[in-house]
Amino acid sequence: MKMTRSPTNIPRRGLLLVMSSPSGAGKTTLSRRLLASDPNIAMSVSVTTRAPRPGEVNGKDYHFITQEEFARLRDRGDLLEYAEVFGNFYGTPKRPVTEALQAGRDVLFDIDWQGTQQLGAAMGEDLVRIFILPPTAEELRERLIGRAQDSASTVAKRMAKAADEISHWPEYDYVIVNEDLDTASAEIEAILRAERLRRRRRLGLTQFVRELTQGL
């Protein structure tokens, strides 16, 4: 009797997991936690024209490039999405993302609502969208001040922009209120586990079922 392959080895297509939030709501911390706990997902490394922040590494956190280099990538169609944020440009290179999906690997994105819209237009069926909310406006302000990365004027700009960013929450598949990091992390992990099991992503199911029924 022909043996059916293990259900754990059914080939699947990768997915694109997007996490968006107003600045300071915790998406970067939650992204790092997910990457540390799950070896089957990797961060999409964006290109940006802004200067590196303290501790950021070129090629790991971002690819830091000039505005001229960014324009060439954009004009050649080599970016899946791009946006201007506070005078700086950000974008997602296309090739490494498409290669990961075809190989069954998952890719994590830390991008805003503008980038998510563009990514959805280009890769809609592969996309899983999560929006991260702070528990209160005051908590958001305290987090921005506490990370000590921005000037007082920049904090004020980010707070003013937060309402517009939050208004896009209905465009996302899931919404998580990040009051407790452990709880929010567990919810994100649960979403990822469920999305990996979606029938349309498990490309090997047809062959698995065929082999299964041959043995009945």
Mean pLDDT, rounded, of the chain? 90
Check: CB of residue 185 under 8 Å from CB of residue 34.
yes
State pLDDT tens for residues 127-151. 999 999 998 888 887 877 666 566 6
pTM (predicted TM-score): 0.83
Taking 70 as the threshold, does the pLDDT of residue 174 lie above it? yes
Taking 90 as the threshold, does the pLDDT of residue 203 lie above it? yes
Q: What sign does the dihedral 57-78-174-128 (CA atoms) show?
A: negative
State pLDDT tens for residues 146-162. 665 666 777 777 777 88
State pLDDT tens for residues 24-70. 788 889 999 999 999 999 999 999 999 999 999 999 889 999 999 99
Any residues with CB less than 8 A from the CB of 47 and at least 6 apart, and which? 62, 63, 64, 65, 69, 70, 73, 79, 90, 91, 92, 93
CA distances from 136 to 2, 140, 149 (A): 58, 6, 21
- Distance, in Å, from the CA atom of 108 to the CA atom of 92, rounded to the nearest integer, reads 11
* pLDDT of amino acid 1: 44
What region, left, alpha or beta, does residue 86 occupy, with left being phi > 0 and alpha being psi -120 to 50 degrees? left
* pLDDT of amino acid 150: 61
* Averaged pLDDT for residues 101-121: 92
* pLDDT of amino acid 143: 74
Question: Residue 136 has which token pair?
Answer: 């209160």
State pLDDT tens for residues 71-91. 999 999 999 999 888 899 999
The band of 3, judged by pLDDT with boundaries at 50, 70 and 90, is low
State pLDDT tens for residues 87-101. 999 999 999 999 999
